[in-house]
Amino acid sequence: MSKVSKELLRDYVREQSFSNPDDILNAMKEMFRDVLQEVLEAEMDSHLGYDKNDLSQKNTTNRRNGYSSKTIKSELGPVKIDIPRDRNGEFEPKIVPKHQRNINGIEDKVTALYAAGMTTRDISEQIKNLYDIDLSAEMVSNITNRILPIVAEWQHRPLESTYSFVFMDAIHYKVREDKQIVVKAAYVVLGVNMDGEKEVLGIWIGANESSKFWLSVLNDLRNRGVEDVLVFCVDGLNGFKEAIGAVYPFAKIQRCIIHQIRSSMKYIPYKDRKVFAADLKTVYGAVNEDEAYENLLSMREKWGDKYPNAINSWEDNWDNLITFLAFPDFIRKIMYTTNSIESLHSQFRKVTKTRLIFPNDDSLLKMLYLATERVSKKWTRAYPNWDLVISQLKILFAEVLNKGA
């Protein structure tokens, strides 16, 4: 595109006698309108096959038929233009398509502001201040609703057949439902593929967290192509083990050690916490399962009578707590906690902190999806030492990985 010469610009500036920036903006707005109008006239000339003032080239019975006024939204503010019409009603302008009143990418800006956590009312005010464009909160909501088909497509996309690790956890929000405010769970599944790359496999909005709903999530993963998961990393929800076993019976399950520690420590008064925590570290920090169990028995002797619930919790869930001890240290660091998904949840909380209550499930899902898209762009590297990780996994899970061979 050719640039306007400096001489022409200087002549224009002299003619206009600008006294402030608003004068320049208004002049640019008028110039923009004039150029846009000329483009529309040129499009009509091309459509009819002859120039407006040169009937010698006319080769059609169709002809111009006046104008229809239209106000469009631009980054310079509202601009009123006249759309040419033809007698046959066949003219379709390309520069400003029919039914389009926004030519400045304002919808992308609205979506970006929504993704950053702004409320529809705040976005409406921001757009008014920046572009002098009136967008109601309802219109902002309608604009963001246009990503719902994209969210649905993402939620139902095919997945890889095997994942090395899958982290599952829920985050809770208040949502309006049937004129009441209820607590809903956003069920989030984060997968690590066989190349060590993280990917959010899906987000499901449902009733407050339950193993029954998690079972439906696992079935959804299976239906979308996930045949095998080597290790599931989960929190301490009752029934998790049974739900996973029903869909992926050959998978290992690691209950989050951090969740387990927190659960145990709530039974311990402040005066004993430091010593109890140090003893507990000898269990989950052991070299292997045998040493870990010996240390747990020692804790039973020392603390069992005083704090039986804290000890019982480890004994009752022992099989799922010590799974990671069968692996080398560089794999233990990946699987012993659900920190990977907790980190994702912290990003969710950043963008939802201004939303005390969501008007519906779709509103919550939109925001979490947009936050996921933004966060996942930063996941450009595989886990550290992945060559070592995958070589160990291929040996330890050879039966699962080679079952189709």
Q: Cα separation of 159 and 193, whole Å?
A: 10
| 151 in a structural domain | no
| 307 in a structural domain | yes
Q: Cα separation of 177 and 17, whole Å?
A: 59
Average pLDDT over residues 280-294: 95
Token digits of residue 39? 């483009």
Question: Do residues 202 and 268 lie in contact, with contact meaning Cβ atoms separated by under 8 Å?
Answer: no
**Does residue 78 surpass a pLDDT of 90?**
no
Average pLDDT over residues 86-96: 80
| 171 in a structural domain | yes
In the chain, the number of structural domains is 3
Question: Highest mean pLDDT range out of 29-38, 116-125, 128-137?
Answer: 116-125
Answer yes or no: do 168 and 311 share one domain: yes
Answer yes or no: do 111 and 252 share one domain: no
Which residue in 21, 40, 28 sits closest to 75, CA to CA?
Answer: 28
Q: Cα separation of 29 and 251, whole Å?
A: 63
pLDDT band at 2 (very low <50, low <70, confident <90, very high): very low
Average predicted confidence (pLDDT) for the chain? 86
Answer yes or no: do 82 and 42 share one domain: yes
Backbone angles phi, psi at 367, to 5 degrees: -65, -40
Answer yes or no: do 234 and 379 share one domain: yes
Q: Transcribe 322-376 into DSSP letters.
A: SGGGGS-HHHHHHHS--HHHHHHHHHHHHHHTT-SSBSSHHHHHHHHHHHHHHHH
**Does residue 160 surpass a pLDDT of 70?**
yes
Token digits of residue 99? 């039914």
Residues 6+ apart with CB under 8 A from 20: none
Domain encompassing residue 54 = 1-103
Answer yes or no: do 171 and 110 share one domain: no
Domain C-terminal end among 83, 103, 123: 103
| 301 in a structural domain | yes
Answer yes or no: do 196 and 302 share one domain: yes
Task: Count CB neighbours of 385 within 10 A.
Answer: 17
Answer yes or no: do 139 and 164 share one domain: no
Backbone angles phi, psi at 284, to 5 degrees: -80, -10
Answer yes or no: do 251 and 353 share one domain: yes
Domain C-terminal end among 146, 169, 198: 146
Dump pLDDT digits (tens) for 250-286. 999 999 999 999 999 999 999 999 999 999 999 999 9
Strand order in the sheet with 162-177: 198-206, 180-193, 162-177, 228-234, 252-255
Record the pTM: 0.73
Question: Do residues 173 and 183 lie in contact, with contact meaning Cβ atoms separated by under 8 Å?
Answer: yes
- The alpha carbon of residue 87 and the mean position of all alpha carbons in its chain are separated, in whole angstroms, by 48
Answer yes or no: do 88 and 173 share one domain: no
Q: Transcribe 296-330 into DSSP letters.
A: HHHHHHHHTTT-HHHHHHHHHTHHHHSGGGGS-HH
Answer yes or no: do 122 and 191 share one domain: no
Answer yes or no: do 113 and 55 share one domain: no
pLDDT band at 115 (very low <50, low <70, confident <90, very high): confident
Question: Do residues 332 and 319 lie in contact, with contact meaning Cβ atoms separated by under 8 Å?
Answer: no
Answer yes or no: do 82 and 120 share one domain: no
| 300 in a structural domain | yes
| 79 in a structural domain | yes
Question: Highest mean pLDDT range out of 65-74, 126-135, 211-220, 374-383?
Answer: 211-220
| 133 in a structural domain | yes
Q: Alpha helix locations (H) across 49-136?
A: 106-115, 120-131
Domain C-terminal end among 146, 176, 207: 146
| 359 in a structural domain | yes
Q: Transcribe 232-270 into DSSP letters.
A: EEE---TTHHHHHHHH-TT-EEEE-HHHHHHHHHTTS-H
